[in-house]
Structure 1
Amino acid sequence: MGDRVKTAADLRSARWFAPDDLRSFGHRSRLMQLGYAEEDFRDKPVIGILNTWSELNSCHAHFRERAQDVKRGVFQAGGFAVELPSLSVDESFTKPTSMLYRNMLAMETEEMIRSHPLDGVVLMGGCDKTTPGLVMGAISAGVPMIYLPAGPMLRGHYAGKILGSGSDAWKYWDERRAGNISDEEWLGVQGGIARSAGTCMTMGTASTMTAITDAMGLTLPGASSIPAVDSGHQRMGSACGRRIVEMVWEDLTPDRIVTEASVRNAAIVAMATGCSTNAVVHLIAMARRAGIDLTLDDLDALGRVTPLIANVRPSGKDYLMEDFFQAGGLRALMKQIEDRLDGSVLTVTGRSLSDNLEGAEVYNDDVIRPLSNPVYQEGSLAVLRGNLSPDGAIIKPAACDPKFHVHEGPALVFDSYPEMKKAVDDESLQVTPDHVMVLRNAGPQGGPGFPEWGMLPIPKALIKQGHRDMLRISDARMSGTSYGACVLHVAPESHVGGPLALLKTGDTVRLDLPARRLDMLVDEDELARRRAEWTPPQPHYQRGYGYMFQRHVTQADKGCDFNFLEAGFGHAADEPDIF
Structure 2
Amino acid sequence: AEALGVTMPGASSIPAVDSGHDRMAAASGRRVVELVRDDLRLSKILTREAYEDAVATVLALGGSTNAVIHLIAMAGRSGIRLTLDDFDRTARTVPVLANLRPGGRYLMEDFHFAGGLPAFLGRLTDVLHLDRPTVAHPTLREQLDGALVHDPEVIRPRDNPLAPEGGVAVLRGNLCPDGAVIKHIAAEPRLLKHTGPAVVFDDYRTMQRTINDPGLGITPDHVLVLRNAGPKGGPGMPEYGMLPIPDYLLKQGVRDMVRISDARMSGTSYGACVLHIAPESYVGGPLALVRTGDTITLDVGARSLHLHLPDGELARRRSEWTAPPERYQRGYGALYNEQITQADTGCDFAFLAKPGEVPDPYVG
Provide the TM-score with structure 2 as the length reference: 0.97
RCO higher in structure (CA 8 A, sep ≥6): 2
Say whether residues 1:546 and 2:325 are aligned partners.
no
Residue in structure 2 matching 1:423, options 206, 210, 214 = 210
| Alpha-carbon distance in 1 for matches of 2:60, 2:219 | 34
Cα distance, 1:255 vs. partner? 0.9
Instruction: Supply the distance in 2 between the matched residues of 1:225 and 1:335 (Cα, whole angstroms).
Output: 16
Contact 1:448–1:540 (CA<8 Å) still a contact in 2?
no
Matched, 1:232 2:20: yes
Which residue identity lines up with residue 268 of structure 1 in the other structure?
A: A
- Partner Cα distance (1:299, 1:283) in 2: 10
Which residue of structure 2 aligns with residue 252 of structure 1? 40
Tell whether 2:194 aligns with 1:395: no
Number of aligned pairs?
364
Offset from partner CA, 1:388-426 (integer Å, 9 cap, x none): 000000001100011111111111111011111112122
How far has the Cα of 1:221 moved from its partner? 1.1
Change (3 A) 1:242 1:268: same
- 1:521 paired with 2:308, answer yes
- Consecutive unaligned residues in structure 1, runs of 5 or more: 1-212
The aligned residue for residue 65 of structure 2 is: 277
Tell me if structure 2 keeps the 8 A contact 1:252–1:350. Answer: no
* Inter-partner Cα distance in structure 2 for 1:215 and 1:577: 33
Match of 1:353 among 136, 140, 143: 140
2:31 counterpart letter in structure 1:
R
Deviation at 1:228, TM superposition (A): 2.9
| SS of residue paired to 2:194 | strand
Hey, which of these two has a bigger chunk of helix by percent? Answer: 1
- 8 Å CA contact 2:182, 2:274 repeated in 1: yes
- Which SS does the other structure have where 1:299 is aligned? helix
Flag structure 2 segments of 5+ consecutive residues without an equivalent: none
The 1:349/1:567 distance shift into structure 2, 3 A limit, reads farther
Of residues 261, 265, 277, the one that matches 2:49 is: 261
**1:243 maps to 2:20:** no
Q: Which residue of 1 aligns with 2:116?
A: 329
CA distance in 2, matches of 1:575, 1:327: 45
- The structural deviation recorded for 1:230 is 1.3
Q: Which residue of 1 aligns with 2:227?
A: 440
Q: Secondary structure at the match of 1:438?
A: strand
Structure-1 residue corresponding to 2:361: 575
Between the aligned partners of 2:322 and 2:10, the Cα distance in structure 1 is 50
- CA positional deviation for 1:534: 0.4
* Counterpart position of 2:6: 218
Given residue 47 of structure 2, which amino acid in structure 1 is its aligned partner? T
Q: How does 1:36-435 map to 2 (within 5 A)?
A: 213-316=1-104, 318-435=105-222
Partner of 1:99: none
2-structure distance, mates of 1:520, 1:474: 13
Helix, strand or coil: the match of 1:538? coil
Q: Tell me the amino acid that sits aligned with residue 527 of structure 1.
A: L
Question: Residue 499 of structure 1 is aligned with which of 286, 296, 307?
Answer: 286
Summarize the Cα distance change of 1:576–1:358 in structure 2 as closer, same or farther, 3 Å threshold: closer
Once the two structures are superposed, what CA deviation does each residue of 1:15-55 show, in whole Å capped at 9, x if it has no partner?
A: xxxxxxxxxxxxxxxxxxxxxxxxxxxxxxxxxxxxxxxxx
Q: 2:318 aligns with which of 531, 534, 537?
A: 531
Q: Secondary structure at the match of 1:339?
A: coil
> 1:86-112 CA distances to partner (integer Å, 9 max, x unpaired)?
xxxxxxxxxxxxxxxxxxxxxxxxxxx
The SS at the match of 1:510 is strand
- 1: CA distance between counterparts of 2:224 and 2:356? 40
1:463 to 226, 234, 250: 250
The residue identity in structure 1 corresponding to 2:146 is G
Distance 1:315 1:291 in 2: 33
Contact 1:397-1:405 at 8 Å conserved across structures = yes
Matched residue of 1:394: which SS?
A: strand
- Partner letter of residue 24 of structure 2? M
1:466 deviation in Å?
1.4
Shift of 1:447: 0.3
Larger Rg: 1
- 1:577 shift after superposition: 5.2
Supply the distance in 2 between the matched residues of 1:553 and 1:281 (Cα, whole angstroms). 13
Corresponding residue SS for 2:352: coil
User: Post-superposition shift, 1:545?
Assistant: 2.4
| C-alpha contact 1:426 1:460 (8 A) present in aligned 2 | no
- Shift, 1:570, TM fit: 2.5
Residues in 1 aligned to 2:56 and 2:178: alpha-carbon distance in whole angstroms: 22
Aligned equivalents of 2:144, 2:210: Cα separation in 1? 51
**Shift, 1:292, TM fit:** 0.9
1:443 aligns to what SS in structure 2? coil
Contact 1:408 1:511 in 2 (8 A): yes
CA RMSD of aligned residues (A): 1.3
Shift of 1:543: 3.6
- TM-score by length of structure 1 reads 0.62
Q: Residue 272 of structure 1 contacts residue 379 of structure 1 at CA under 8 Å; is this kept in 2?
A: yes
The 2-side partners of 1:349 and 1:544 are apart by: 42
Contact in 1 for aligned 2:137/2:143 (Cα 8 Å)? no
Q: Is the 8 A contact 2:181 2:276 kept in 1?
A: yes
Q: What is the deviation of 1:429?
A: 2.9
Answer yes or no: is the 8 Å Cα contact 1:426–1:461 preserved in 2.
Answer: no
The one-letter code matched in structure 1 to 2:222 is H
**Aligned equivalents of 2:252, 2:334: Cα separation in 1:** 45
Deviations 1:146-205 (A, max 9, x none): xxxxxxxxxxxxxxxxxxxxxxxxxxxxxxxxxxxxxxxxxxxxxxxxxxxxxxxxxxxx
Q: Aligned residue for 1:92?
A: none
Report what 1:113 is aligned to. Answer: none
* Sequence identity percentage: 57
Aligned 8 A contact 1:381 1:397 in 2: yes
Matched, 1:558 2:345: yes
Q: Which range moved further: 231-240 or 537-546?
A: 537-546
1:540 positional shift: 2.7
Runs of 4+ in 1 over 3 A off after TM superposition: none
Offset, 1:464: 2.0
